[in-house]
Structure 1
Amino acid sequence: MTQLHTPKASRNQETGRLSFMASVSPPRFRLRPRGGVPGATSHPVACTFSSVPAPKKTVRRSLLVTSAALSSLALTAPAALAAPSPSTSPSPSASASPSPSASASPSPSASASPSATPPANMSSVGGTRLGQPGTQVDLGSGAPVIPKDITARSWIVADAESGEVLAAHNAHWRLPPASTMKMLFADTVLPKFPRSEKHKVVPADLAGMGAGSSMVGIKEGETYTVHDLWLGVFLRSGNDAVHVLSAMNGGVDNTVKEMNEHAEELQALDTNVVTPDGYDAPRQVSSAYDLTLFARSGLQKKDFREYCSTVRAKFPGETKKGKKGKSVRESFEIQNTNRLLSGDSDVPVYQGIAGVKNGNTTNAGATFTGVAERNGRVLLVTVMNPSKDEHNEVYKETAKLFDWGFQAAGKARAVGELVPPKSAAQASAQPGANASAGQAGGGDSSTVPRTKAAAEESSGGMGIAFAITGGLLVLLAAAAFLVNRRWPLPDLVRRRPRP
C-alpha cells in the first residue's frame, strides 16, 4: 500500500522525549511483534523544529538499578513495607455513568440530546475553575483577548506538554461527542494488534451499525490488514472499520467496556461510552476536557500519530474478475476529513497541524480536537458544537483558538491542568513524594543522609533495612515527581501550508 503525506518518523521506534515513559494504554493481550506493511512507502513533511533529546542514559540506568535494589529488599522486608493492594472499586460498565464520587457533575441524562445550558455544577477535575460555567481565562500582561466570535457550546485550549489549560469554556459540560469518541477507541484498541495482521470480514462484523453511519467502504468476504482498518477509522471516520476492529477485539460490548475502563484510568470522568464509533446513543457523553485527555494520551503512541496525521492513502477495494478470468483487487484513494489537515475551499491547511480527529452527528453537531505546533510549543484545542451554522465552522473556530493560544502562551496564566492518568498520579503520591518535591524545587537535600544516620544508630539490622528502603523510596518518588509534573509529547509531524 502506498501512502501519501504520511509521516516517516512516526513509524520509527519510539524515541525522544517519551522513550522513558510507560504507556498508559491497556497491555497487549497478544505477544506478537509489531511491524510495518511490507512495501509501504511514505513521504516526510517538513518539520518546524528539531526533536528534543531523550534524558541521558545514565539517569535511566540509575533508576533501573534503584528499582532492582528496591525489589530485592521487598522480598525480605516485612509485610508492612509491601505496596498497598490495588483498588477494588468496580470499573464502569458499558452503560454505567462515571462514579458520582469522582465528579461533581450529575449523571448523564437518559436522553441523547444535551440541555440548552451547561449545569451549574460540573466536574472540578483539573481545577475548580474548569467546573464553572462560562469562559475561564486569566489574561496576563500582553495576552490577547479571546476571539469574540467563538460560538461553540464547549471548548478548551491547553498546552499539550505541560498540561496547562490556557482557557476554557464549559470544559466539563457532558455533551454527545460524535466521532471524536474514536480517539478513545483507538487509544484503547490500537496497541493490541500488529498492523500487518489480516482479517477476513464476515457479515457479523458489520452488524449493528447505525443508519447513515460514515463508511470507508469495507466489503464482506474481503481481507484487510489492521493497518488498512485504522486508516479507515482515522481518515474516513469509518464506522464499518470500527466495528470490524471491535469484532476482532471480542465484540462491541467488550470494546465498550474496555473503553470505559480506559477512560476511568485517564481520569476522563465526564465520559460514558455506549457505542465505540461515537454514533448517537442515549447516555453517550463526553466533554471537551475528556476529549483533550484522549488526544493527549493517544498522541504518545507512534501509530496513533501516524494515522491521525495522514492526509490521504490508498484503500483496498473489492475483488473482481479480470479480463483473463484472474481475480483483481484494485484500490481507491481516501482523504482525511480533518479540514485543518487536508484543507477545503474555505479552510486552508493550518500551519503546524498534526491531527487529531473530527466528528459530526445530529445530536452532537460538529466536534473536533486538533493538535498543532508553532515555535516549539504544542497546543491541543477541542471545540464542541458551534452554534454558528456555517460550512466548516468547527474548523474555523478551532483555528481562531489555536491562533489565540499561540499568541497568549507565556502570557495568559493557567486556569487549570490536564491531569495525568490514575497510575501516574498514584506514583507521584507515594511516601516521600513531598520530600522529593522539596528537593526538586531547591529545598532541603539532607533527607537521605539523615535517614542513613538514624539507621546507623539503631541496634538491629532490620532498622538499617528500613532506612535504606526509605531512602530508595524517596529517590523513586523524586523520579516520579520529575517525570509526572510534565507529560511531554514526542516529536510530532508538523505541516506547513501548501503553496
Structure 2
Amino acid sequence: MNQLHTPKASRNQETGRLSFMSSVSRAALTDRLRGAERRTAARVTSAEGGAGRPCTFSSVPALKKTALLVASATLLSLSATGPALADDKPGGKDDKPKPPASMSTVGGARLGQPGTQVDLKAGAPVLPKELSARSWMVSDAETGEVLAAHNAHWRLAPASTLKMLFADTVLPKFPKTQQRKVQPADLAGIGAGSSLVGVKENETYSVHDLWLGVFLRSGNDAVHVLSAMNGGVPQTVKDMQEHAEDLQALDTRVVTPDGYDEKGQVSSAYDLTLFARSGLQKKDFREYCATATAQFPGETKKIKKGKDKGKSKRESFGMQNTNRLLTGTDGVEQYKGIAGVKNGSTTNAGNTFTGVAERDGKVLLVTVMNPGSDEPHAVYKESARLLDWGFAAADKVEPVGELVAPKGAKTGQGAPGKGGQAGGAEGVAKATEKDSGSGSGMGTAFGIAAGVLAVIAGGLFLLNRRWPLRRQ
C-alpha cells in the first residue's frame, strides 16, 4: 500500500484541527503507512497550485420545516433554468454575467435573492471588503445554519469541485483494496488539458490509489477508471445526478463526472456545500480530502543494468494535494484548522473552492466560485477571509438560510434505540443510531479509525443529531 500523510484520530491543540485530523505543517508532516510495511517516501513533487470535537455534522433542520420551500424551489429552479444558465457554456461572450433576478429558494427565501445576504447583530464584524467571487457561502457544518451568502443559488460551472459529488456517489461502492487493471477504454474520452495523476494503461491500481489520485491531484484519469468500474461514464453521470437530487441539490446538472467544462454542466455554492457536508460524513472521504501528500504507483519498467537486469520494477512517485490552504504552498498560507475539501479550475469556471475548517469547537464550510480579482490565488485568500469572518461572527449573526437534509433523511427526535437512515438514494448505506441510555435520542458519533466508536477527551463524544451519521 502507499505511504501518505493522513489524518489521525487525535487532537492537535497547536493547529486547532478537527479531532480526527493531524497537522500538515512542514514540521508535523510525518510518514504514515497504510499497510503492513513501512518504506521511505519518495521526493514529493510540486502540485498545481495544494477544536476538540470530531467532524460529526449533526443537527439538520427538520424536513417538515423545509418541505414547502423545497417543493416551491424545485418549480422555481425549473422555471428559472434559462436565465440561470448564463455561465454554463465555455467561451461565453459576456465577461461579467449577472445573476438571475430570482433563483432557487432551497434552504430559504433569502438564498434565492441576488447579492449579499447577511444579518448582523450588535457587535458582529462586517464582511470582508476584498471579495470578488461571483458566488460564495459560509455555513455552520454541524447546525446547517447559513451565516452569510452571495448569490448562493447562481448556477455556475463547478470545475473539479464537482468531484466531491463524484466521490460521495461512488466511494461507498468499492472496497479500497479492490484492484483494477486499466484497459484502454477506461481512459477514453478524457478532455484535452485535463489534470492527470498519471494512470497508465495495462497497469494495476488499487481503489485506494485511485481515490488518492482524485483527491490530491484532481486526476481526471483516476475519475475515468473509477467510472469504468461503476459501469461507465454515462452510468456514473446518471448516478451522480440522482444522488444530487436526493441531497436536494437542485441547481446541479451533471454532464461529466470529473467537472471538465461541458455545455450545460452547472452547480452552485449552495449545492457544492451540500456535497461537501454529505461527503464529510464518510470517514474515507474525510481522510482523503485532508491528505497533504502521498505516493502513487508509477509505470512498470524493465531493469536494464545490474544483477536484476531483465526483471520488472515498479516504483512510486510523490504527489501533493492541490489544495493550497491545506498544504500552505506557492505563496498561500496554510489555514489554521483546515481539513479539506476540494479546489477546481477551468477556463469556463474560473477558480472554485469548497473548504471545511474547525476552530474552538466550531466547524464551518465555505464555498467560493469564480473570483474576479487579479489578486494571486484569490479563491484561497477570499475563502480564508470568509472563514475568518465566520469564526468571528458565528454567534453574532442571524442565519439567512439553512442546509437542507436529503430527501430520505428521517428528521426529528428519534425514539431511543431506533435506527435512522441518512440519505435516500439507492445503494446508500443505512445509518445507525444507538441509544445513549438517556432516552433523549442521543446518538454516538463514529470515529475515523477502523470504524470504531470515537473516544474524545477520555470518553464517548455524544451528540443530539436529527440527521444521523452513516457508519462507514
The TM tier, using the shorter chain, reads 0.7 to 0.9
Aligned to 1:182, what secondary structure does the other structure show? helix
Cα gap change, 1:182/1:142 in structure 2, threshold over 3 Å: closer, same or farther?
A: same
> Is 1:147 aligned to 2:128, yes or no?
yes
Aligned-pair distance for 1:7?
Answer: 1.1
Once the two structures are superposed, the pairs formed by residues 319-468 of structure 1 within 5 Å of their partners are 319-322=300-303, 323=305, 324-424=309-409, 427-428=410-411
> Is 1:179 aligned to 2:160, yes or no?
yes
Match of 2:89 in 1: 112
Q: Distance in 1 between matches of 2:188 and 2:375?
A: 34
Aligned-pair distance for 1:101?
Answer: 5.9
Aligned-pair distance for 1:42?
Answer: 12
Aligned to 2:390, what secondary structure does the other structure show? helix
CA contact (8 A) 1:156 1:167 kept: yes
CA contact (8 A) 1:369 1:380 kept: yes
Percent identity between the two aligned chains: 67
Aligned-pair distance for 1:335?
Answer: 0.2
Q: Distance in 1 between matches of 2:329 and 2:6?
A: 19
CA contact (8 A) 2:76 2:104 kept: no
Cα gap change, 1:40/1:227 in structure 2, threshold over 3 Å: closer, same or farther?
A: farther
Aligned-pair distance for 1:332?
Answer: 0.4
> In terms of mean alpha carbon deviation, does 340-349 or 290-299 score higher?
340-349
Q: Distance in 1 between matches of 2:55 and 2:246?
A: 28
Match of 2:25 in 1: none
Q: Distance in 2 between matches of 1:487 and 1:158?
A: 19
Consecutive aligned runs of 4 or more in structure 1 exceeding 3 Å deviation: 36-43, 50-55, 98-105, 107-111, 478-490
User: Which runs of 5 or more residues in structure 2 are unaligned?
Assistant: 11-17, 20-33, 42-50, 59-72, 416-439, 444-462
Aligned-pair distance for 1:391?
Answer: 2.1
Match of 1:239 in 2: 220
Q: Distance in 1 between matches of 2:57 and 2:395?
A: 24
Q: Distance in 1 between matches of 2:208 and 2:40?
A: 14
> Is 1:266 aligned to 2:266, yes or no?
no
- Report the residue type matching 2:244 in the other structure: A
Q: Distance in 1 between matches of 2:468 and 2:348?
A: 33
Q: Distance in 1 between matches of 2:57 and 2:268?
A: 33
- Report the residue type matching 1:238 in the other structure: G
Aligned to 1:384, what secondary structure does the other structure show? strand
CA contact (8 A) 1:37 1:196 kept: no
Cα gap change, 1:295/1:176 in structure 2, threshold over 3 Å: closer, same or farther?
A: same
Q: Distance in 1 between matches of 2:468 and 2:98?
A: 33
The C-alpha deviation readout for 1:253-309, integer Å capped at 9, x for no partner, is 000000000000000000000000000001000000000000000000000001000
Match of 2:456 in 1: none
Once the two structures are superposed, the pairs formed by residues 13-412 of structure 1 within 5 Å of their partners are 37-39=35-37, 48-51=51-54, 100=75, 105-107=80-82, 109=85, 111-113=88-90, 116-322=97-303, 323=305, 324-412=309-397
Cα gap change, 1:53/1:345 in structure 2, threshold over 3 Å: closer, same or farther?
A: closer
Match of 1:4 in 2: 4
Aligned-pair distance for 1:106?
Answer: 2.2
Aligned-pair distance for 1:141?
Answer: 1.5
Cα gap change, 1:52/1:213 in structure 2, threshold over 3 Å: closer, same or farther?
A: closer
Aligned-pair distance for 1:102?
Answer: 6.0
Q: Distance in 1 between matches of 2:54 and 2:194?
A: 39
Q: Distance in 1 between matches of 2:55 and 2:355?
A: 22
Aligned-pair distance for 1:51?
Answer: 4.4
CA contact (8 A) 2:166 2:240 kept: yes
Residues paired across the two proteins, number: 376
CA contact (8 A) 1:219 1:318 kept: yes
The C-alpha deviation readout for 1:164-221, integer Å capped at 9, x for no partner, is 0000000000000000000000000000000010100011000001100000001101
CA contact (8 A) 2:57 2:281 kept: no
The C-alpha deviation readout for 1:25-69, integer Å capped at 9, x for no partner, is xxxxxxxxxxx65547999xxxx41549999xxxxxxxxxxxxxx
Q: Distance in 2 between matches of 1:101 and 1:136?
A: 19
Aligned-pair distance for 1:109?
Answer: 3.5
- Report the residue type matching 2:327 in the other structure: S
Aligned-pair distance for 1:325?
Answer: 1.1
The two structures have a TM-score, normalised by structure 2, of: 0.74
Aligned to 1:229, what secondary structure does the other structure show? helix
The C-alpha deviation readout for 1:334-373, integer Å capped at 9, x for no partner, is 0000000011232111000000000000000000000000
Greater helix share, structure number: 1
Cα gap change, 1:50/1:297 in structure 2, threshold over 3 Å: closer, same or farther?
A: closer
Match of 1:77 in 2: none
Cα gap change, 1:105/1:151 in structure 2, threshold over 3 Å: closer, same or farther?
A: same
- Report the residue type matching 1:231 in the other structure: L
Aligned to 1:303, what secondary structure does the other structure show? helix
Aligned-pair distance for 1:147?
Answer: 0.5
Q: Distance in 2 between matches of 1:392 and 1:53?
A: 30
Q: Distance in 2 between matches of 1:177 and 1:365?
A: 9
Aligned to 1:9, what secondary structure does the other structure show? coil
CA contact (8 A) 1:8 1:42 kept: no
Q: Distance in 2 between matches of 1:215 and 1:298?
A: 22
- Report the residue type matching 2:187 in the other structure: L
The two structures have a TM-score, normalised by structure 1, of: 0.70
Q: Distance in 2 between matches of 1:247 and 1:392?
A: 34
Q: Distance in 2 between matches of 1:290 and 1:99?
A: 13
Aligned-pair distance for 1:4?
Answer: 3.5
Cα gap change, 1:178/1:42 in structure 2, threshold over 3 Å: closer, same or farther?
A: farther
CA contact (8 A) 1:100 1:106 kept: no
Aligned to 1:296, what secondary structure does the other structure show? helix
- Report the residue type matching 1:121 in the other structure: S
CA contact (8 A) 1:341 1:354 kept: yes
Aligned-pair distance for 1:484?
Answer: 5.6
Aligned-pair distance for 1:161?
Answer: 0.2
Q: Distance in 2 between matches of 1:129 and 1:349?
A: 32
Larger Rg: 1
CA contact (8 A) 1:37 1:195 kept: no
Aligned-pair distance for 1:105?
Answer: 3.4
Cα gap change, 1:241/1:172 in structure 2, threshold over 3 Å: closer, same or farther?
A: same
